[in-house]
Amino acid sequence: MFKILVAEDDENLNKIICLKLAQEGFSPLAAFDGEQAIKLLEGERADLVVTDIMMPGLSGYELTKQIKLLDESLPVLMITAKSGMEGMEKGFVTGADDYMSKPLNLKELILRINALLRRAKIASGKRLRFKNSELDYVALSLKIGGEAVELAPKEFYLLFLLLSNPGKIFTRLEIMQEIWGYDTDSDERAVDTHVKKLRRKIESCTDFEIATVRGIGYKGEIYE
């Protein structure tokens, strides 16, 4: 069971979020300010943190910085009553992995949490090694036959997602949500464009391929 730390000084909202998390099968941990959140993290392992920005004492920005010092791989989802790009940009600069504005849509919150947990699971693998090729998540690099293949970041993330889940069919919408995020203005044709570019770049590789599932999306096929 995944443990989700909720740092929110509004006690009623904190309770609502924790209740929803419990209903969805998560184990919620409640903190009502940044200092309490840090103390909980020092004594107990969490799989993801949901934090408000405006809290007494330690703000969500400062909390996120400290979380990333404790564990850089721990996903952080920021929530805030603020609107506009400035707050969002500051959140991502301090290390947040995703960002939501209040009032919260709890269904969307759960979707975002699940997406972040999947990304964290993928990233924990760090490297995918095959007979004649290797993907390095940290360096965002692909080598085929010892030669580096230049990939754009989204091309790499797309390939890594498919090859980390061989045989699993991803719809175009699922890929958009995983790679582009929920707030993207791009449409699903962007996925097809990236797949087309990727296929050209990996056509010399005999270890894997991106297979089209007609009318649905794509999947990664690995050949031993």
Residues 97 and 14 in one domain: yes
CA angle in degrees (0–180, nearest 5) for 15-4-22: 55
Percent of the chain with pLDDT over 70: 92
Count of structural domains within the chain: 2
Q: pLDDT digit string (tens) for 10-61?
A: 999 999 999 999 999 999 999 999 999 999 999 888 999 999 999 988 999 9
Residues 90 and 145 in one domain: no
Please tell me the pTM assigned to this model. Answer: 0.60
Q: Name the residue with tokens 């570019």.
A: 197
Where is the domain boundary, 84, 101, 122? 122
> Domain span at residue 159?
126-222
DSSP 133-152: EEEETTTTEEEETTEEE---
pLDDT score recorded for residue 83? 66
31, with CB counted inside 10 A (0-12, 13-18, 19+), is buried
Q: pLDDT digit string (tens) for 67-123?
A: 998 888 899 999 988 766 666 778 888 899 999 989 999 999 999 998 888 777 766
Mean pLDDT of the chain, nearest integer: 89
CATH number (domain holding residue 138): 1.10.10.10
Where is the domain boundary, 69, 95, 122? 122
pLDDT confidence tier of residue 133, bands split at 50, 70 and 90: very high
Long-range pairs of 116-123 with CB within 8 A, sequence gap ≥ 24: 116/48, 116/75, 116/77, 117/2, 117/47, 117/48, 117/75, 118/178, 119/75, 119/178, 120/47, 120/48, 120/73, 120/74, 120/75, 122/160, 122/161, 122/164, 123/73
